Structure 1
């Protein structure tokens, strides 16, 4: 799939995040592949997935664009979504259509910053599509300047500076659309059809990513039981 095909196939559509971490009951590349197949049958236009093993299994199961990440925790940094060049290399080798990485201004592992990191990555892989997982408008503006191909609201509400921000953050979505020229993807905090329809209807939104509300039954169950006495 070439770069223009990714954007044409996902424009105005739903992308589903199929992820299960090691401490979750559904942690299995086979299960994530079946999950991806199920959401494809349901109408998803793309998949977001974590780890080389899951991505390879998913690519064998569905013919949809894949946004790939590798979540890895380093002791010297809060950045954990595709944090270093090593994770970038691994994702390129498994052939994902888009690589998403933390694009906040937080220090990366080994003390590197956003600009040094991404300039090296872009120079090494000039034809690879990169998604900037952002928390703020400044993140999105910086990401476009650095050469990212698409920005996402993934990290809004998950950094210290945005911890109290609403999810999804409608103001941030609108601000990004007004201030960057690259496509804007909305991700985070979408738990019902009403919210999905609301963000998808915002003029300029390229696509919407939903994860937990579709593919994480443990979190879905907890969501419905909030405030319910056991």
Structure 2
């Protein structure tokens, strides 16, 4: 599938993020693969998957586009979504069609620019790039750097936006107005109504994670709410 047809396959569709905390029983390639397959069977046009092992397991079970990433923490930098080319290469080799990267304006662990990283992914891996951003300034910079897709993924999750609560519909609307590349609504979309709202606001596609696949987070949230009412 060409890069353009891969991106076209996402249009006005639901992308399901199939991830789990590292200490969860769900954090197993076979389980993540099954979750992804179930999502695709029910209509997801693509899935978003973290780490090479999980991407490889999912690739064996679905034929839809995989947006792959690899969360890695490095000292001295808050950038953790596919921060370096090495991570991008690993998830591309595992079977990802689109590489998601942190494209915020924060300091990167190896000092490499977003432009250089995107260029290498395009030239050496032949993959499309989804830029995860937090502000309109970062979104514009990501497009200028060559990103094929730009998502609202990190709105509310960076120091600059910590006062904001996802979903970032205002940011989404601003991106749709300012950018020429497809805009992906991601982060805090927790109901079908919100999904429809994001698409009606101009999102090319939407990503839903916790509200569909986040068993650990959802059970914890319910427990926090009801625990004061439980006996002894």
TM-score, length basis structure 1 = 0.93
Instruction: State the alpha-carbon separation in 2 of the partners of residues 182 and 137 from structure 1.
Output: 13
- The 3-state SS of whatever aligns with 1:177 is helix
Say whether the 8 Å CA contact 1:106–1:113 is kept in structure 2.
no
Secondary structure of the equivalent of 1:109? coil
- 2:111 corresponds in structure 1 to 111
The aligned runs of 1:51-200 (5 Å cut-off) are 51-125=51-125, 127-200=126-199
Matches of 2:49 and 2:42, distance apart in 1: 17
Q: Please give the secondary structure, in 2, of the residue aligned with 1:67.
A: strand
Q: Counterpart of 2:9?
A: 9
Corresponding position of 1:205: 203
Q: Point out where structure 1 has 5 or more consecutive residues left out of the alignment.
A: none
1:120 shift after superposition: 4.5
Cα root mean square deviation, aligned: 1.6
Distance in 1 (CA, whole Å) between partners of 2:68 and 2:175 is: 22
CA displacement at 1:23 relative to structure 2: 1.7
**Is the contact between residue 186 and residue 208 of structure 1 (CA under 8 Å) also seen in structure 2?**
yes
Question: With structure 2 as the length reference, what TM-score do the two structures score?
Answer: 0.92
**Quick check: 2:84–2:110 contact (8 Å CA) kept in 1?**
no
Structure 2, unpaired ranges of 5+: none
Aligned residues between the structures: 228
Answer whether contact 2:103 2:114 (CA < 8 A) is retained.
yes
The residue that corresponds to 1:216 in the other structure is 214
Q: Does 2:20 match 1:24?
A: no
* 1:58-116 Cα distance to aligned partner (Å, 9 max, x none): 01011111000001111121111001111011122223110000000111113344344
Moved more, 80-89 or 220-229: 220-229
Runs of 4+ in structure 1 over 6 Å off: none
Q: Distance in 1 between matches of 2:101 and 2:72?
A: 11
Return closer, same or farther for 1:13/1:106 CA change in 2, 3 Å cut-off: same
For 2:184 and 2:221, locate their aligned partners in 1 and report how far apart those are by CA, in whole Å. Answer: 24
Alpha-carbon displacement from aligned partner over 1:107-143 (angstroms, at most 9, x marks no partner): 1113344344444444534x32001001010111001
Task: Deviation per CA, 1:176-202: give whole Å up to 9, x if none.
Answer: 000010000010011122212211221
